[in-house]
Structure 1
């Protein structure tokens, strides 16, 4: 095929990409995309409740299952996924897709286990839940700072790098101008409309991403002769430099596809994704991400009922089955079509091809878009990539501003009015844009190798301790604030040490002798997540059982066990004050005067009277937790079918 002969022989890779100028039709498609995106965002912002904290940060809790599910998926599948997953698929095969196929189990865990507790507490942010569950301020503030740091260093950093790489290669324009423009547009409707604008644009962008991804997949597979020949052709997709070296009696395997490229479950010791680490490590990383991450949980909390939240989780779970095909395997097709560029191994050759001596697998997806898609469709896919970047960035801007405003600013300014909180939230978005722009030069010099593995390596070291304090807090009432705090600190410190060792000992080039400490190359990053989680677990339980337990009334409505007491309240009587209020730990609650108690009782009575008005259900009664039995049956049945399908796919490709 003609496209298979396309190499870097005609000049530098940069010159090749700049020659792939988008046509006027492509430009029109991209411009129309921006216009429609802004229109949808502005429309949603005009209809959203921007004058209240609940309306701005949780979309007034008025969203149905469809936009919630689409937003969950779009918030996760960013430009980093398109470039990172396709790149690692091109380099190592389908195993990286296990991150996508384990996700449906974890998304269901969010809807059926974690979310009812969050709704019961009436929280806006994840650190706020920690405050209500454990009491005190240090854990909530520590988590707020850690979360914002992780957002800047991983989410924003990875998305901007991936977006910068794609735009530079695809459009051939000044990268800084392109990124600044995208960040400005992304921040405009986040600032104007809050979460509701983000969720509606996420829904639109999900459609664009799926259509564009399917188009690239279909046309790429057509170029190689279909899905049935992928394995044979991929296993023979070897760069010319490696083949030439064989003629000199060099038996190098550098650049040769892995023998287990088409297997998900790989050797437990020597593989890139050992199967025990995959099952345990991805479970820990994924549950931290899907069940405790502010960006994700905020979308589910915006649902108008627990049933719509569960429906959104089911939809997102089904959508997560798709990236294995439209991203991972499509990246493998890119290696088949462009082995000399995508699979390059010689540092000097990789430097010439993509200005990165570590490897060029990250160009797998942009290469397909530029050289496989025809005019017009190329513009649609560029728009899809831009939509992925926009979706991810706007989600992060919205969620991070929520954390800063409600968890940090309100501690600095305890008398802050609701209007002030809204202003601070919008200013936070502007500051995040500025930080992101300043971070671009650092990203261009530090990001190398396989983007998705880089991201997961960081998260495997830092995510499990965070997951531990939420997981044990929800399921084990005996865990207290002291145990959770020190478990977080010890686990997080261990993860930081691992990252410092990783970044200070660069992996040797392929074929060179290993010189790093054995702890780095013998212990896979997925095993690190299990080790860090185990360390946090030991500290959490040891400290908790050596110190005073929380009082039962302080746990009311904040654990899986105690929310069922609230859900069991009868509709025919007025619950007592003790039954109706989530009492935070007494060591951090100021004594109340008789007047304060009487006023609280009066407020509760007023809320209870409001419950009799069906048009205005009270938040105190947690009506969001009550489910229609008929809908619940079908939701559970569909969720079980999702589990069966996912398990079948994992076994089929195992």
Structure 2
């Protein structure tokens, strides 16, 4: 039977930034600090006349900046939306993606980074081209990666950012996203890798501090970990003329990290074997991650940086996944809605509303001022991820494609090409917004960020139709 929604009266969250001046002040301070650091690093930390200065920060990045930059580049807005949403939908098992990185990133520092640094390369396609003596392979990998950035990384970041902007602020996708894209593009262009890395240091501090405050307040509201276990999963009963039905069901192993091999979402063989395989590819051979250690002062700083990043990767379980579960417990009808038409009413997504778990906490748990801090956290996550992608794209196109077409171009010309590529990436991202808007509620985010929404089982929750 089709599900029925009778007298749905659930209202959307209402938040007006302009009526909460302290939140606006916090956001303004964040943006001023971000732009200030971008300008400072562009003048103090790089030599714009050289490709090494612009694309690799002059190979002078210390370990603490490498570690925090790796963390910020990895933690994007899709983590706060996707990890919290999956935690709300199915429990803690999704944190395996984060916890595996604790040791995988050490492989980057101890096994891969010394080889990359010794080779003196700028990009991963360049390394592969030298290793296999194949310019065609180098060009193919570079072009393929550039295309995949648009279709996957940028798309997911913008999608998740829009989910937050719409739910938390009620902002339309176009003005909010275009503004963030333009600001990100400006400091990426003006400062190169140095500006990206040192702004990511600020963004990491904001993300960890802000999400830590929200975690503490959320656990306090739910009654601690014991309260979460007792009150989970926060199902609710939906009344209909012919009776009632329980909706929004979740698995009974929500607090289990390792699950049965027959588990549809997180079977333990996949957690043990498949996740590390893809993790090694992501952390040890993707341009976005590797470019940070390529800019290290030396191998020692690269190793220390990966240790710091590994320690930081323990945090998402506590700062994002468990708060997502708390949101499901505190607001079961909104976050855990299980009827298509009701979910559509709540969050414009008939598949489910687990994606709004983190924004729900931000808007309902935090007082004025701290809400602005968490808004800055989400924007920092989006902007750091986009800046890393833009900078890596500019580096790869210039070093692997442009230099192949114009082998005698000067270093200044190569830096200008890097500028242009970032501008083009921003323009393409803006042009991609209508596609993202059309795909909202469909399968793009589910496909790219594993289990970021409720499973298809949600559609099996049908209440009797009204007569």
Q: Same fold (TM over 0.5)?
A: yes
TM-score between both structures, scaled by the size of structure 1: 0.66
Other-structure match for 1:52 = 50
Name the SS for the 2:460 alignment partner. coil
C-alpha root-mean-square deviation of aligned residues, in Å? Answer: 2.2
Deviation at 1:176, TM superposition (A): 1.0
Deviations 1:461-502 (A, max 9, x none): xxxxxxxxxxxxxxxxxxxxxxxxxxxxxxxxxxxxxxxxxx
Deviation at 1:24, TM superposition (A): 0.6
Distance in 1, Cα, partners of 2:252 & 2:458: 20
The alignment of Structure 1 onto Structure 2 pairs a total of residues equal to: 452
Other-structure match for 1:161 = 159
Deviation at 1:448, TM superposition (A): 3.2
Q: Is the 8 A contact 1:84 1:451 kept in 2?
A: no
Deviation at 1:169, TM superposition (A): 2.1
Other-structure match for 1:402 = 395
Name the SS for the 1:367 alignment partner. helix
Deviation at 1:128, TM superposition (A): 0.3
Other-structure match for 2:236 = 239
Distance in 1, Cα, partners of 2:209 & 2:371: 12
Name the SS for the 2:56 alignment partner. helix
Distance in 2, Cα, partners of 1:454 & 1:144: 23
User: Relative contact order: is structure 1 or structure 2 higher (C-alpha 8 Å, sep ≥ 6)?
Assistant: 2
Q: Is the 8 A contact 2:188 2:390 kept in 1?
A: yes
Distance in 2, Cα, partners of 1:349 & 1:512: 12
Distance in 1, Cα, partners of 2:106 & 2:438: 39
2:91 to 85, 88, 93: 93
Deviation at 1:105, TM superposition (A): 1.1
Distance in 1, Cα, partners of 2:273 & 2:244: 42
Give 1:183-198 correspondences, 5 Å limit: 183-198=181-196
Distance in 1, Cα, partners of 2:155 & 2:445: 12
Distance in 2, Cα, partners of 1:227 & 1:452: 30
Other-structure match for 1:114 = 112
Deviation at 1:172, TM superposition (A): 2.4
Give 1:291-306 correspondences, 5 Å limit: 291-306=284-299
Q: Is the 8 A contact 2:348 2:441 kept in 1?
A: no
Deviation at 1:72, TM superposition (A): 0.4
Give 1:112-511 correspondences, 5 Å limit: 112-235=110-233, 237-241=234-238, 244=239, 248=243, 255-448=248-441, 453-457=446-450, 510-511=459-460
Distance in 1, Cα, partners of 2:181 & 2:148: 19
Distance in 2, Cα, partners of 1:38 & 1:20: 21
Distance in 1, Cα, partners of 2:443 & 2:357: 11
Distance in 2, Cα, partners of 1:56 & 1:246: 67
Other-structure match for 1:545 = none
Deviation at 1:9, TM superposition (A): 6.3
Distance in 2, Cα, partners of 1:282 & 1:21: 43
Residues 232 and 451 (structure 1), Cα distance of their counterparts in 2 relative to 1, 3 Å cut: farther
Distance in 2, Cα, partners of 1:22 & 1:421: 47
Other-structure match for 1:30 = 27
Distance in 2, Cα, partners of 1:323 & 1:416: 44
Q: Which has the larger radius of gyration?
A: 1
Deviation at 1:137, TM superposition (A): 1.7
Deviations 1:115-172 (A, max 9, x none): 1111121110000000110011221112112211221112111111111121222222
Distance in 1, Cα, partners of 2:427 & 2:16: 32
